[in-house]
Chain A
Amino acid sequence: METKNIMIVGVGGQGTLLTSRVLGNLAEEAGYDVKISEVHGMAQRGGSVVTYVRFGDKVEEPIVEEGMADVIIAFERLEALRYFHYLKKGGSIILNDQRIDPMPVVIGAAKYPEGIIEELKSKVDLHVVDAMSEAKKLGNSRVFNMIVLGMAAHYMSFPTEMWKKVIQKTVPHKTIDLNLKAFDVGYSLVK
């Protein structure tokens, strides 16, 4: 199989690391070679963070190059725009519709770009979800990342049963049911 390139982008502290762990375990379950590259340290303190996940028959470099991502999972609007140029032609973006103002915006030194969703929609295959609200409906805002993953599942050709098996293995035992529910909600949002 040709190597699949997935990027997870967001704001430090949003919990993107669980998402990449699920993807890594999934690729392993499917018998692929996989490499994952994460950001730790200072950038995790509210900075722009990106995780690369690559899987296929043989993966060499651990990062996704500009113009090569099959799917970008974006946890925040501005970050989707920031990493947009990593997407390959025909790639897809799954966007959690959340706005987190970066400090230059908070202090009035810069403006948060308007119309990000419309802009992206005009250029690529974009799926937007307010995962935070969906997660709150399920009773726990912290499972919002599983909703986003449920949407992204449509673009990665793993059977849903495998997703569920891997989620069960990856998330804390107490939260399995909730996470599986969240995954189903996300999955049903992409037609």
Chain B
Amino acid sequence: MDKILMMGNAAIARGAYEAGVKVSSAYPGTPSTEVSENLVKYKDDIYCEWAPNEKVATEVAIGANVAGVRSMAVMKHVGFNVAADPTYTVSYMGVNGGLMIVVADDPGLYSSQNEQDTRMVSRAAKLPVFEPSDSQEAKDFVKIGYEVGQKFDRPFVLRTTTRLGHSQGFVTLVDREEVEDKAYTREVVKNVMMPGNAKARHTIIEEKMRELAEAANALSINKVEMKDTKIGIITSGIPYTYVKEALPEASVLKLGMVYPLPKKKIADFANKVDKLYIVEELNPFIEEQVKAMGIDCIGKEIFSNEGELSSNIIKKAILGENPEIVAYDKLPGRPPILCPGCPHRSTYYVMKKLGIKAAGDIGCYTLGAVAPLSVVDTTICMGASISSLHGMEKAKGKDYIKDWVAVIGDSTFLHTGMNSLLNMVYNQSSGTVVILDNSTTGMTGHQDNPATGKNIYGDPAPQVDLVTLCKGIGVKNVRVVNSFDLPELEKALKEETAREEVSVIISQSPCVLLTKGKKPYYKALSDKCKKCGMCLKPGCPALTKNEDNTITIDDTMCTGCGLCFDLCKFNAIEYVPLEK
């Protein structure tokens, strides 16, 4: 069979294909996005889609499962919170066709607003959790999960982390298993979760979880590797690979299913080793349960609750090894920034000029919080810009938010922002919402959404009209402005923030990364430059200040957006059109 190099997320998609999955719904979110992007390859066998949010995606998958096919929903860890409502209850319902929820955690916060641990949420929802440690397992655990889930009537969570999802390793492919659809039969006690039925189902699923915990002792992916018995390690997922590298001679109990735990196997293993360590990233999830069993072990006493582990960290914590590493300190940091030519930059520049603060949201435009733009004051979760601005007004009155707006991207607005806007209208807010409409879901790598006019396959799809949508919700003042039209933006922001009614400004210009290939650029003319520094104010990375305070524009980075050109009062910046 074919053996190919595959990213963890691509392997999960392949696993879904091989396991006979037929329906997938997802909302993009780093580090989970590539699962769905890779599912597109299997379009003849799997229907997949981008949903407007994770709650919708999960419900779509639940419906497909009720109808009798293997289905899945994919999201990042914070998206799992959005999906919590259906998740906690579908747990009571159990499965028909089979249901997997892929949830990607982000230890180390490479691209997230928190470091929450999906294992804790899954446990609270009483869902089995599978955790692969490399691409091969990422693929294989999908099928195992469906088999276990179907046997014990459980939906299940496939938990990954950034390191797993974005690492590549070899994967051996097998053919797709054509799973026969389960018949749909009306089963009110199982599928209608009203109090009486849910109460009965709760009893059943508690029993199912006990049975599964027992079966976990014999589950092949919970595997013991007995070697030297001085040190025993219980671990799972990516940390397993760090353990193998750091302590190749140690005995290891590697858990492929991290919830519910195989208690007998753990007790057995603990008995055989002199000293037992639990090696896991983020929360002491396994550790606390092992300690609750009355087993002596060491975990978070020597490991952090934060960030990723590594073999060096394990060597240091367990063996006390401390190799001398001298790094250069006090180097200037290199935080992410808005790209050259990003339309958010010009919108923010105008807001900054007017002294407007922003309640922010989740997307590239969160980067408006950092200098020199420093416009965004808050960022919480998807949709929160609009609702939190409303809360500020209700706390402090209309005048308090005269110099505030909410900023939110097109995809985030459709995710959960529009509910918040409805609340603003309904409860008579006077706030201003700026929708930064760049015609894509930018941060996660340009996925389509209901406003782009294309579906996940790139095929034409109905396109929601944001103006009509906002008006339909009841916003009377909606205006559309080109993000690079500075005077028009300034006028709109001044007028709408002064207005004592809800208003929406749609600042529109496509993400600069959507168009590939050579672009025109601008050139700085040092002889005309008066060194005033105006062009540097928006913080475009293509511009550098020279020793003599004139500037240089990097022609490979410049995209020809013209923001610096518009700001220069001395004609010291010149347009260089594309060569024909």
Instruction: Give A residues with C-beta under 8 Å from B.
Output: 11-13, 24-25, 28, 33-48, 59-63, 65-67, 78-79, 81-82, 84-85, 100-107, 109-113, 132, 141
Contacts and interface: CB of A to CB of B under 8 A. Distances in A.
A135 B80 CA distance: 46
Contacts of B332: 78, 102, 104-105, 110-113
Contacts of B31: 40-41
A43 B323 contact: no
A136 B325 CA distance: 38
Nearest to A106: B539
Contacts of A60: 241-242, 244-245
A82 B331 contact: yes
B166 interface: yes
A107 B540 CA distance: 10
A13 B339 CA distance: 9
Contact of A37 (B163, B244, B312): B163
A41 B110 contact: yes
Contacts, number: 159
B370 A63 contact: no
Interface in B540-560: 541, 543-545, 556
B509 interface: no
Interface in B104-122: 110-111
A42 B111 contact: yes
Contact of B333 (A12, A36, A102): A102
Nearest to A83: B327
A66 B322 CA distance: 11
Given A42-B111, A43-B336, A81-B328, A103 B539 contact: yes
B443 A42 contact: yes
A42 B30 contact: yes
8 contacts: A36-B5, A62-B167, A82-B334, A85-B327, A102-B332, A103-B335, A103-B372, A104-B333
Contacts of B134: 35, 62
B150 interface: no
Given A25-B5, A141-B556, A47 B334 contact: yes
B364 interface: yes
B334 to A, nearest CB: 4
Interface in B201-251: 238, 241-242, 244-245
B244 A24 contact: no
B197 interface: no
Interface residues of B, number: 52
A43 B169 CA distance: 22
Contacts of B541: 46, 100-101, 103, 106
Contact of B310 (A12, A61, A110): A61
B183 to A, nearest CB: 41
Contacts of B492: none
A28 B168 CA distance: 12
Given A61-B311, A100-B541, A40 B166 contact: yes
B30 A65 contact: no
Nearest to B168: A36
B367 interface: yes
Interface hub of B30, B168, B338, B544 (most chain A Cβ within 10 A): B168
Given A28-B5, A33-B170, A81 B336 contact: no
A36 B244 CA distance: 17
Contacts of B337: 45-47, 103
A104 B371 CA distance: 8
Q: Which has the most chain B C-beta neighbours within 10 Å: A41, A59, A66?
A: A41
The list of the 10 closest CB pairs from A to B, nearest first, reads A41-B111, A41-B30, A47-B336, A110-B332, A62-B167, A102-B334, A85-B327, A48-B334, A42-B111, A45-B336
A24 to B, nearest CB: 5
B364 to A, nearest CB: 6
B245 to A, nearest CB: 5
A40 B30 contact: yes
Interface in B319-374: 323, 325-328, 331-339, 364, 367, 370-372
A104 B536 CA distance: 13
B5 A44 contact: no
A67 B323 contact: yes
A39 B166 contact: yes
Contacts of B328: 81-82, 84-85
B10 to A, nearest CB: 12
A146 B178 CA distance: 43
B163 A62 contact: yes
A189 B242 CA distance: 37
B325 A67 contact: yes
B445 A40 contact: yes
Contacts of A78: 331-332, 334
Nearest to B445: A40
A104 B444 CA distance: 25
Contacts of A35: 134, 167-169
